[in-house]
Structure 1
């Protein structure tokens, strides 16, 4: 069998391991987290820079792989409130809560981890992407090391033959939490900027993934540095609407 086969995987998941049953204990805590994300992050005065990079990639390829560092998972979860995205979260308690919150925000979620269900979760994410959804990946998750890109996004991009879009984030006022990624929490009402970096194109073969991953990590760092170093200029010149899709809290069926 060709190791670089582009065929769509066949999924088989036990009925007792559906997404709803996995995070059932966190169904309502996920709703609370989603409401907090929606109200807290919705207070940010947010601007987008480099949106033409995403729009051009979407016009050409139909969907793309959205990537970012895990330290910005809370504000960037808010920006992806739409029905156009899919995400992979871990089966750990924290991942289950985040997955439930993302469902309330309108994101399609599948579950996997490095120790259990990882390949199956990756396959399901690929299958969702083949329906036209854009996969969202924190490339140093779920447990780091922080700001060191792993090859999952490059592998998915190669199999789908769609580009990766790096996102960089900066807030005027924020604080870091004591988590493994030193997660950054913007203050309510703060000005914030998201920089959409230039697309990183996929490789053709599995052995290309390491080099593509290095390029993605560098692109993420450039987008983040630009967001910090050029903050005032980018905020004044940036757009107030997301180039990645229409926002809107979706709760039906979640």
Structure 2
């Protein structure tokens, strides 16, 4: 049995990870770029899609100030690893909407993805939904259609978020995930967009992929973190 499938181990590691992230976020010197785009979206209230690549999920709570940002939930996969991440993120004020279209069992994948879409749209009627459009298993920085589809159906704006810190831990995972280290340099870069009326889905995927890559690259340039 994999350790993360054992509830006690899962809960303990989630608590440790959440505590470590809070400590690091408090000691990092943050640079905020184009924060006005985020503030304008939060001021409107209602639904918003908070978007960042899967490799930066360990930095994501730093970009969402609970005292003024739209209350949000995170779309987390149905895997055991997803459950662990969901618990760590939930300890920092982000309850999870569970579901994923990536699963070896196609029937279960379809059911989980459909339910996640329903739950995501329901959440977007009242608040924010954090989503990693290349998750849960990649390919890295390749956006699936789920994000623009949610934006098109819901009418909610997408808030693209580039997150970086240096120094950082690089995990040996498919996405080379970044975890923070304390007392370093951090950067958060924002960009916002609505689904263009009448646009083809493939065109939106390409344009939004470029914009999300741009804010992440800008954040890495600020901190000096090497892109991989």
Same fold (TM over 0.5): yes
Q: Report the alpha carbon displacement of residue 37 of structure 1 after superposing the two structures with TM.
A: 1.8
Unaligned runs of at least 5 residues, structure 2: none
Aligned length, in residue pairs: 208
Of residues 119, 123, 137, the one that matches 1:124 is 119
Instruction: Confirm whether residue 201 of structure 1 aligns to residue 194 of structure 2.
Output: yes
CA change 1:60–1:81 in 2 (3 A) is closer
Query: Which residue of the other structure, out of 117, 120, 140, is the alignment partner of 1:146?
Result: 140
For 2:41, which of 45, 57, 62 is the aligned residue? Answer: 57
> Does 2:65 correspond to 1:84?
no
Which of the numbers 187, 195, 212 marks the counterpart of 1:220?
Answer: 212
- Structure with greater strand percent: 2
- SS of 1:172's equivalent in the other structure is strand
- Kindly indicate whether the alpha-carbon contact (under 8 Å) linking 2:185 and 2:223 is maintained by their aligned counterparts in 1: no
State the SS of the aligned residue for 1:100. Answer: helix
- CA–CA distance in structure 2, aligned partners of residues 42 and 52 of structure 1: 22
Aligned mates of 2:90, 2:165 — CA distance in 1: 25
Q: State the Cα deviation string for residues 201-232 of structure 1 (Å, max 9, x = none).
A: 11446x73222121111101111222233559
Aligned counterpart, 1:75: 59
Task: Find out whether 1:229 has 2:184 as its counterpart.
Answer: no
Find the counterpart in structure 2 of residue 157 from structure 1.
151
Which residue does 2:160 correspond to in 1? 166
TM-score normalised by the chain length of structure 1: 0.73
Q: Deviations over 1:10-53 (max 9, x none)?
A: xxxxxxxxxxxx99653444233222221233321122110111
The whole-number CA distance in structure 2 between the counterparts of 1:136 and 1:210 is: 21
- Give the Cα separation in 1 of the matches to 2:174 and 2:114: 24
Q: Deviations over 1:169-208 (max 9, x none)?
A: 23232242211001123331101111112x1211446x73
Contact persistence 1:90–1:96 (CA under 8 A) = yes
List runs of 5+ in structure 1 lacking aligned partners.
1-21, 233-254
- 1:63 and 1:134 in contact (8 A); partners too: yes
Measured in 2, the distance between the counterparts of 1:174 and 1:87 equals 23
Task: Give the Å deviation of 1:138.
Answer: 1.0
Q: 1:187 to 1:125 in 2, by over 3 A?
A: same
Distance 1:96 1:202 in 2: 30
TM-score (norm 2): 0.81
Alignment match, 1:210: 202
Flag the 1:190–1:64 CA change in 2: closer, same or farther, 3 A. Answer: same
Query: In angstroms, what is the RMSD of aligned CA positions?
Result: 2.4
Whole-angstrom distance in 1 between the partners of 2:200 and 2:6: 35
The alpha-carbon distance between structure 1 residues 174 and 118, as it changes in their structure 2 partners (threshold 3 A), is same
